[in-house]
Amino acid sequence: MSKINFGFEKIHQDEKENRVAGVFDSVAKNYDLMNDLMSFGMHRLWKEVLVEIAELNKDSYVLDVASGTCDIPKIVLREFPNNKVYATDINHNMLEVGYKRSIDENFFKNLYFGAASGEKLPFKDNTFDAIFVGFGIRNFTNIKVGLEEMRRCLKDNGNLIILEFSNPQSGIFQNIYDWYSFRILPKIGKLVANDENSYKYLVESIRMHPNQEKLKSMIIDSGYNKCKFFNLLNGVVAIHKAVK
């Protein structure tokens, strides 16, 4: 059987979902705090931009794949309270944090939850006007399978909008980013969450993820009509928007 990447490690394809689930089981409790610390709060701004780029209508059907603790549904429902938003993830612990937050922070109306992989979605063909994936797609076992599955669930002219770590465009920026990612991030993970290994995986998985252009061609090869991307923070993060 073919081997695939789990960070810098090579593992059997059918091990990956469990290994990824293990990482997010471990980080779920501290995930929101760690996100703020690691990105200096910038992930909040990136998610605002993501929702803006989606150009939703007031009555859109929205799916958030790899929803985790539901940051993206929270923004969508703040801006468009009448949208129907489905939050899905393979990880129950992450979704449970999201579910509790949706009650504590009052964005539960029109929000629905379900455990599901982005590579096998429990929805009919042509259901959604927009599908988001925020910092999730690099963890998929097979990104192409996921892209095709999400396309199946989109209506014609529906949008897939992906937010993911990518490749910095300047050499100096790349050096600083490498130093921060490999030296500092796992230490923050150890100090705050007592979990150096999970944060090491997260950094390594970013390095193994296809760059902006490569992801764009994978999206086009998966049957989408158009795809463009926007670099944020010199390409540390990119948003890809594709149309079915």
- Contact residues: ligand SAM, CB under 6 A: 20, 24, 65-68, 71-72, 89-91, 94, 117-119, 134-136, 139-140
Using Cβ positions, the residue closest to ligand SAM within the complex turns out to be 68
Which lies closer to ligand SAM via its Cβ, residue 107 or residue 140?
140
> Residue 174 CB, nearest distance to ligand SAM (Å)?
22
Determine how β-strand 226-232 pairs with β-strand 237-243: antiparallel
> Residue 98 CB, nearest distance to ligand SAM (Å)?
8
Which lies closer to ligand SAM via its Cβ, residue 61 or residue 199?
199
H helix runs in the chain, sequence order: 16-27, 31-39, 42-54, 71-79, 92-104, 143-153, 171-179, 185-193, 196-208, 212-221
Q: List, edge to edge, every strand of the sheet that includes 128-134.
A: 111-115, 84-89, 61-65, 128-134, 154-165, 237-243, 226-232
What count of Cα atoms within 13 Å lies in the side-chain half-sphere of residue 210?
Answer: 15
Q: Which two tokens stand for residue 201?
A: 């995986």
> Residue 61 CB, nearest distance to ligand SAM (Å)?
18
Q: Which two tokens stand for residue 239?
A: 């948003």
Which lies closer to ligand SAM via its Cβ, residue 36 or residue 221?
36
- DSSP 3-state assignment of 8? coil
Determine how β-strand 128-134 pairs with β-strand 61-65: parallel
What's the CA gap between 175 and 24, in Å, rounded? 28
Which lies closer to ligand SAM via its Cβ, residue 129 or residue 164?
164
> Residue 163 CB, nearest distance to ligand SAM (Å)?
7
Which lies closer to ligand SAM via its Cβ, residue 65 or residue 227?
65
